[in-house]
Structure 1
Amino acid sequence: MKHWALFLLLAIGCYVWQIEAEFFTSIGQMTDLIYVEKDLVKSLKEYIKAEESKLTEIKSWAEKLDQLTHNSTSDPEGYLGHPVNAYKLMKRLNTDWLKLESLVLQQTSDGAQHVSTLSVEDCFELGKIAYSDGDYYHTVLWMQQTLKQLEEGEASPVTQAEALDYLSYSVYQMGDMHRAVDLTKRLIAIDPTHVRAKTNLHYFKKSLEEEVKSDQTRDEEFYQSQSKKEVYMQPENYLTERDSYEALCRGEGIKMTTRRQRKLFCRYHNNNKHPRLIIAPLKEEDEWDSPRIVRYHEMLSDAEIEKIKEIAKPVLARATVRDPKTGVLTVANYRVSKSAWLGDDEDPVVSRVNQRIGDVTGLEMETAELLQVANYGVGGQYEPHFDFSRRPFDSSLATLGNRLATFLNYKEEPDAFRELGTGNRLATMLNYMSDVPAGGATVFPDFGAAIYPKKGTAVFWYNLFKSGEGDYRTRHAACPVLVGSKWVSNKWIHERGQEFKRPCGLTEVD
């Protein structure tokens, strides 16, 4: 409310100057000062009222923030495990606190909205972020949600025209020309002065006509059905590995049939009567038949998990991946997590866990990598990848039933583990160190498997055949964490030292 203070200062200054110059000139003129003073009092009251309103708003904001911080600090990890809480925290720190500063210093009336659901502005901003990343599919979903909330009457500075502008161009990028035209017409009906919409409409219509002439469009019925849907669906034949991965993360497309299910069993596992497993064998459960994936129950105790997390937390850093061209470790946007590497000398618990992995698998741990501990927050994920290093392509591998031809993004890598001198990554042991309320599954897009986190359990699979060739079916991904905090630890076991523990087979697929 600086304008009130400025007005008062200017007014008082002018009147005081007038009084000092001509105070005794005329009583008649002095009577005017009575009304001037009355105006000053009125302005002063309005200024006080405005300041009180400002302080009331700031006080209300402070009380809400105080309650929020009380809840968040009582259980930080649990609080941030809810995606809306995590998003709102980032929004407050990056946007709302700046608005509060503006309110205090510049007297703006904006304030934070403390709601339990995403607002129109939230959905719109998320859609814009997806759009800037070229992710038109998710742009469509967020812009449709924006329009839905606007149509339901939610007040917002975001307009339907703004959302339709992004939506129409995104569905065009998705290949749905008919719907792009319909949405652009709707945009022009709302805002007839929208120049870009008129230009786009002409371009979309022309593109549609060209596709019709070249017979590259799909059935008219398909497009009409798409246009009537509230939620946009990707066009036919758009399926890619990423879509298979996302479908599995949603619990769709899992290919475990009843016939295959009958081949899966549970058993007590003592690894051929290993001395440390005779008295306390582990519970082993088949998760998948081919390639074989097993889960070990009660692999880690709660105390061991907490100790490993305690050791890892101070040294967690953004997880890296190996560049397929250079072999150099670097960060990547398709792996969003933090990780730390722990050796046997870090703590007896780490040494004991590594020893247990060796006991259960019967494999040599001396050549294995350090225990990698990873934490995935809300939205944390690791898109489809191989654990092993790919070797020069051999067409004979196509006979292995690995469907190599489908891997359009197959990339030959340099020997990523040459410096280690321990060979390729033979096998993976993945320890789940937390439950995940929603999301966070480990999925295998090639054969349609989804394995869900369960605290204290571990899953194990071989990345290589006995011949040493990579099993390309083991390409897997870590689904985004939707609610909660996901903790895992990996043990990558290498080839060297396993010559007599897992000898070569007689064929490539042994």
Structure 2
Amino acid sequence: MSHRSRCMFSFWQLVLLFLRVLLLTGGSNGEFYSSVDTMQALAYVEKEILDATHVYVKAQEEQLNLYRNFVAQVKREHAMAIDEMQLEEYVGHPLHAFRLLKRMVTDWNGLHELMVNNQAREDYHQKIDQVAKDFGYPDNTDIQGAVKAFNRLQEVYNLTANHLADGIINGKLTETELEWRECFEIGVQLFDLKQYERSLEWFKVAFRILVTSSRKVLNRRKFEFELMEYMAIANFELGNAKSAGILLDQILKVEPTHSAQQTRKYLLHREMLSTKKVEVASDPTWHANYTRLCQGHRLPEPFTGKSLHCYLDAKRHVSFILAPLKVEQVHVDPDINVYHGVLNDAQIEKILQESDQNEMMRSAVSGDKGSATIADLRVSQQTWLNYSSPIMRSLSNLISDISGFDMAGAEQMQVANYGVGGQYEPHPDYFEVNLPQEFKGDRISTSMFYLSDVELGGNTVFIKLNVFLPPIKGAMVMWHNLHYSLDVDRRTIHAGCPVLIGSKRIGNVWMHSGYQEFRRPCLLTCDEEKSSGYRD
């Protein structure tokens, strides 16, 4: 198949121009899809490209008019020479001879030089190169990352390709629809990732839109056949050789010399050699709880005698006497509390302004001995803020007053922004083993600030505790990752659900146990992990 050589289609008009210009500049300065903030920056970059292109097109139009006028003038001279008099008589006239010589020596050379040394084109190249140097461009990694995000959103929120292509998300009709070419590209990307079932779904949608489209499509039949060929191979990979054969036969019935002939021979050869059954990948044990909670649904729970309630807390610290904390209990044992309205919009804006001054990097996943790796289970970008500025000193005092912990044991605040379908699969915040050398004790607690609202998706979920928390701007969620005995509390495994629509910004502060001996002392007996909540 030659899909990539014939048509490389992006499913975002926003990045289409950049992918084309990438052929001129090459390279990318970093990821775009993993942060909504960097995706927003693309809109401003595109404005620069749009303005430069407008100037270039206008200059080209003026130059083209100059060419047209010159050619028209020369045509009139030739018409006069051939139609009104003999050519010998024409060139024998001194004025006509002078015009001909002038055109050949001066005018044509000048026109040729103008066409070869196209200043407007050079200016355009320089502008594009400068924008590429300053901002970078998305590349196929970003398209692939965005397609993976589509796949995640479909899996977690039970979204169909048909609905997404028609602009329907969670039953709501949006203003954006996908064209068949964009659905085709999503299918190809998923096919390359060996996500055959999902790719087949997108190929079928692309085929439906293509064959029912009222728009004129050049080489419509060629693309129909290419889609059918992709669908045939995807069916074969899924163990449905019969459907694959039917699709290829339909192509060859109309066009016997089509490349589907070779595809059929290849699949028949593989079928004869293959004795292995198709294995259907099974979801991890936590997946059912994860997707349910991400969708905002809890399992029914028997009453345990522990009721949850909301209350005002003015006794936690003297700073809350006049402005009590608004506390929402979301779980008891382990305790998970949401403190509403602890940050206002002005404070959040200052925090985000500080984070903008730092370089955002793709979030990594912690490994052995503090190592970190980039993985699809965590899709976001992040930076770190210390507590030297007025707003961060205020935040430090707030965390200390609420938690009762010594901030000497606090890590810098991690500010993260989730990208297209951004998520963080179930994970603990504690290390348990292989603590980084600079740590004094494990992460005893987590304080998570929501720095934005999210239109759809992006819940924080605790898969063993049947708890989901929608992001609420200005709120802080706090829980302990360790028992009083400093054993890890495995019930606190949690996840950040994929963002469906909107931008999710959070700020995390982790506290180390090494400084909290007198703030949260051990009990006389070991508090073993209890069996409350749901386990995977």
> So what's the TM-score if we normalise by structure 1?
0.62
SS of structure 2 residue aligned to 1:504? coil
Q: 1:469 and 1:170 mapped to 2: Cα distance?
A: 48
Q: Which residue of 1 aligns with 2:308?
A: 265
SS of structure 2 residue aligned to 1:144? helix
Letter in 1 for 2:239: M
Q: Which residue of 1 aligns with 2:444?
A: 426
Residue 503 of structure 1, CA deviation: 2.2
Decide whether aligned partners of structure 1 residues 196 and 418 sit closer, same or farther in structure 2, where only a CA change above 3 A counts. farther
Which aligned pairs between 1:345-364 and structure 2 lie closer than 5 A?
345-346=388-389, 348-364=390-406
CA contact (8 A) 1:307 1:349 kept: yes
Decide whether aligned partners of structure 1 residues 472 and 124 sit closer, same or farther in structure 2, where only a CA change above 3 A counts. farther
Unaligned stretches of 5+ residues in structure 2: 1-60, 91-145, 151-174, 530-536
Q: 2:337 and 2:457 mapped to 1: Cα distance?
A: 20
Which aligned pairs between 1:453-492 and structure 2 lie closer than 5 A?
453-492=471-510
Cα distance per residue 1:412-448 (max 9 Å; x no partner): xx32x322x4221111111111111112112334455
Q: 1:256 and 1:245 mapped to 2: Cα distance?
A: 9
Which aligned pairs between 1:245-256 and structure 2 lie closer than 5 A?
247-248=291-292, 251=295, 254-256=297-299
Residue 291 of structure 1, CA deviation: 4.1
CA contact (8 A) 1:465 1:471 kept: yes
Which aligned pairs between 1:394-413 and structure 2 lie closer than 5 A?
none
Match for 1:128 among 168, 185, 188? 188
Which aligned pairs between 1:84-483 and structure 2 lie closer than 5 A?
116-153=176-213, 155=215, 156=217, 159-170=223-234, 172-173=236-237, 176-178=238-240, 181-191=242-252, 193=258, 194-199=260-265, 201-202=267-268, 206=272, 210=275, 238-240=282-284, 243-244=287-288, 247-248=291-292, 251=295, 254-259=297-302, 263-268=306-311, 270=313, 273-289=316-332, 291-325=334-368, 327-346=370-389, 348-391=390-433, 414-415=434-435, 417-419=436-438, 421-483=439-501
Q: Which residue of 2 aligns with 1:402?
A: none
RMSD: 4.1
Letter in 1 for 2:261: V
What is the percentage of aligned positions where both structures have the same residue? 30
Cα distance per residue 1:160-203 (max 9 Å; x no partner): 33334434444555xx423x531442243134530354135426
Unaligned stretches of 5+ residues in structure 1: 28-82, 88-114, 219-234, 392-413
Residue 120 of structure 1, CA deviation: 0.9
Cα distance per residue 1:90-149 (max 9 Å; x no partner): xxxxxxxxxxxxxxxxxxxxxxxxx83111111111222233334445423422322332
Q: 1:139 and 1:294 mapped to 2: Cα distance?
A: 42
Residue 16 of structure 1, CA deviation: 8.0
Q: 2:510 and 2:77 mapped to 1: Cα distance?
A: 81
Decide whether aligned partners of structure 1 residues 380 and 198 sit closer, same or farther in structure 2, where only a CA change above 3 A counts. same
Residue 453 of structure 1, CA deviation: 0.7
Residue 354 of structure 1, CA deviation: 2.0
Q: 1:151 and 1:263 mapped to 2: Cα distance?
A: 59
Q: 1:245 and 1:258 mapped to 2: Cα distance?
A: 14
Q: 2:333 and 2:203 mapped to 1: Cα distance?
A: 41
Letter in 2 for 1:320: S
Decide whether aligned partners of structure 1 residues 183 and 368 sit closer, same or farther in structure 2, where only a CA change above 3 A counts. same
Cα distance per residue 1:277-325 (max 9 Å; x no partner): 3333222222234543221211212221122112222224123325524
CA contact (8 A) 1:390 1:470 kept: yes
Q: Which residue of 2 aligns with 1:401?
A: none
Letter in 2 for 1:282: L
Cα distance per residue 1:433-475 (max 9 Å; x no partner): 1111112112334455432111111222222223323233333
Decide whether aligned partners of structure 1 residues 326 and 507 sit closer, same or farther in structure 2, where only a CA change above 3 A counts. closer
Q: 2:262 and 2:209 mapped to 1: Cα distance?
A: 24
> So what's the TM-score if we normalise by structure 2?
0.59
Letter in 2 for 1:190: I
SS of structure 2 residue aligned to 1:366? helix
SS of structure 2 residue aligned to 1:488? strand
- After superposing on structure 2, the runs of 4+ consecutive aligned residues of structure 1 that deviate more than 6 Å are none
CA contact (8 A) 1:165 1:187 kept: yes
SS of structure 2 residue aligned to 1:284? strand
CA contact (8 A) 2:295 2:457 kept: no
Q: 2:387 and 2:187 mapped to 1: Cα distance?
A: 46
Letter in 1 for 2:426: P
Cα distance per residue 1:371-391 (max 9 Å; x no partner): 222222333322333322142
Letter in 2 for 1:369: E
Decide whether aligned partners of structure 1 residues 328 and 161 sit closer, same or farther in structure 2, where only a CA change above 3 A counts. same
Q: 1:167 and 1:273 mapped to 2: Cα distance?
A: 62
Q: 1:358 and 1:18 mapped to 2: Cα distance?
A: 95
Q: 2:449 and 2:304 mapped to 1: Cα distance?
A: 23
Letter in 2 for 1:380: G
Q: 1:195 and 1:264 mapped to 2: Cα distance?
A: 68
SS of structure 1 residue aligned to 2:454? coil
Q: 1:200 and 1:263 mapped to 2: Cα distance?
A: 64
CA contact (8 A) 2:378 2:424 kept: yes
Q: How many residues align?
A: 375
